[in-house]
């Protein structure tokens, strides 16, 4: 994409300055390690938020290997790649999930988008800015690992939720992710969700261990405990039917846990809004 083309795609002044603005909260959900339940927690949290009457955009930020649409049983015709190439606008590619949540699908099996180029980030930024007044929350399901895209979306959001499981490998990757975000991107505060655990006590134990390690080796990092989601057979069962577990099994332990972490998130979400400019300056 050349510069002129990029500029053409960047929208300017589309929002009516007099219209009352929504304050959109950006929440990035990351984990370091893959397979710990990020996508399930993002999608079920989005549903819980929408049940509170909030307008939610779920951004599949796992841009080369997105799969949130699969979890929801959707088959979108277009995805973020069509926005990045200029073929479609953001509004044209959004698809609707349960209870009116909007999904921004990622391309899947496309290595090119594993790391966005600077111009691509600008296109995304302007599209998101144009759309953000329609939403109260944007949840970013960032991919596994510590790639440039993970760093980008975590620094764009006001709040970073880190998902870990009680397994030492997940614990270690969650810590590594927070360390890199703090050291290289000045993201200092994290909210921990321990997934696939026995109970709240086990999750609290994981939280204490992470805090102890951080206090010793990365004292700038602050890790708040957001909550836990129990290991629950309702989760894989719902995944296999391509439905959200909190939709299919509202009484399940995992569904009650997601409702609790969503309440905690709404109570404690940081003030302000997604600051795309800060990301580009940084
Ligand atoms: N709380 C849970 N209880 C039982 N199984 C879970 C739970 N959370 C996740 N899983 C299992 O882990 C799999 C991977 O979850 P997913 O959300 O796709 O992880 P990620 O997005 O981090 O790669 C799910 O398909 C499900 O089978
Ligand atoms: Mg995922």
Index of the ligand 1 atom closest to the CA of residue 231 = 3
pLDDT at position 166 is 96
Q: Which residues, at least 6 apart from 228, have a Cβ–Cβ distance to it below 8 Å?
A: 193, 194, 195, 197, 199, 200, 202, 203, 204, 257, 261
pLDDT at position 112 is 75
In a domain, 15, yes or no: no
pLDDT at position 20 is 56
Task: Pick the ligand that lies closest to the CA of residue 197.
Answer: 1
Q: Which residue has the tokens 């951080």?
A: 214
Q: How far is the CA of 273 from the centre of ligand 2 (A)?
A: 24
Task: Indicate the number of domains in the chain.
Answer: 1
In a domain, 13, yes or no: no
The DSSP-derived string for the chain is --HHHHHHHS--S-S-TTSPPP-PEEEEEE-SSSSSSHHHHHHHHHHHHHHTT--EEEEEE-TTB--HHHHTT---S--HHHHHTTSS-HHHH-EE-GGG-EEEPPPBS-GGGGS--HHHHHHHHHHHHHHGGG-SEEEEEE-SS--HHHHHHHHHSSEEEEEE-SSHHHHHHHHHHHHHHHHHH---EEEEEEEEES-HHHHHHHHHHHHHHHHHH-TT-EEEEEEEEE--THHHHHHHTTS-HHHH-TTSHHHHHHHHHHHHHHHHPPSS---HHHHHH-
Q: pTM to 2 decimals? A: 0.90
User: What is d(CA 241, CA 67) in angstroms, rounded to the nearest whole number?
Assistant: 14
What count of other Cβ atoms lies within 10 Å of the Cβ of residue 216?
8
Q: Are 86 and 62 in contact (CB under 8 A)?
A: no
In a domain, 67, yes or no: yes
Q: Are 245 and 255 in contact (CB under 8 A)?
A: yes
In a domain, 230, yes or no: yes
pLDDT in tens, 23-79: 789 999 999 999 999 999 999 999 999 999 999 999 999 887 889 999 999 999 999
Query: Which residue range is the domain that position 96 belongs to?
Result: 23-277
The sheet carrying 25-30 orders its strands as: 95-96, 102-104, 56-61, 137-142, 25-30, 159-164, 189-197, 222-230
pLDDT at position 195 is 98
pLDDT at position 10 is 62
In a domain, 2, yes or no: no
Ranges under pLDDT 50 in the chain:
13-17, 281-282
In a domain, 140, yes or no: yes
In a domain, 18, yes or no: no
User: What is d(CA 245, CA 70) in angstroms, rounded to the nearest whole number?
Assistant: 14
For a pocket test of ligand 1, which of 37, 161, 198, 230 has the largest count of ligand atoms closer than 8 A to its C-beta? Answer: 37
Residue 198: which CATH number?
Answer: 3.40.50.300
Which residues lie near ion ligand 2 (Cβ < 5 Å)? 38-39
| CB 33 near ligand 1, within 6 Å | no
Radius of gyration of the chain (CA): 18
Q: How far is the CA of 87 from the centre of ligand 1 (A)?
A: 33
pLDDT in tens, 141-151: 998 988 888 99
| CB 231 near ligand 1, within 6 Å | yes
| CB 229 near ligand 1, within 6 Å | yes
Q: Are 48 and 56 in contact (CB under 8 A)?
A: no
């Amino acid at each position: 994409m050349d510069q002129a083309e990029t500029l053409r795609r960047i929208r300017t002044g589309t929002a009516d300055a007099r219209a009352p603005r929504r304050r959109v909260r950006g929440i990035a959900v990351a984990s370091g390690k893959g397979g710990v339940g990020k996508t399930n927690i993002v999608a079920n949290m989005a549903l819980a938020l929408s049940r509170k009457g909030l307008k939610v955009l779920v951004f599949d930020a796992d841009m080369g290997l997105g799969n949130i649409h699969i979890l929801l049983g959707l088959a979108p015709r277009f995805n973020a790649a069509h926005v990045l190439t200029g073929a479609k606008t953001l509004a044209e590619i959004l698809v609707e999930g349960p209870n009116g949540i909007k999904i921004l699908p990622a391309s899947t099996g496309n290595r090119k988008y594993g790391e966005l180029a600077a111009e691509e980030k600008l296109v995304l930024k302007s599209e998101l800015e144009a759309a953000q007044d329609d939403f109260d929350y944007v949840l970013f399901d960032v991919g596994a690992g510590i790639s440039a895209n993970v760093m980008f979306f975590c620094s764009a959001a006001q709040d970073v939720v880190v998902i870990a499981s009680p397994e030492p490998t997940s614990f270690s990757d969650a810590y590594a992710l927070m360390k890199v975000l703090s050291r290289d991107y000045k993201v200092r505060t994290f909210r921990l969700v321990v997934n696939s655990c026995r109970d709240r006590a086990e999750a609290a134990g994981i939280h204490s261990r992470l805090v102890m390690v951080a206090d010793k080796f990365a004292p700038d990092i602050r890790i708040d405990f957001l909550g836990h989601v129990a290991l629950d057979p309702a989760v894989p069962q719902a995944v296999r039917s391509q439905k959200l577990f909190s939709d299919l099994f509202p009484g399940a332990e995992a569904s009650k846990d997601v409702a609790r972490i969503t309440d905690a998130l709404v109570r404690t979400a940081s003030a302000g809004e997604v600051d795309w400019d800060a990301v580009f300056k940084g």
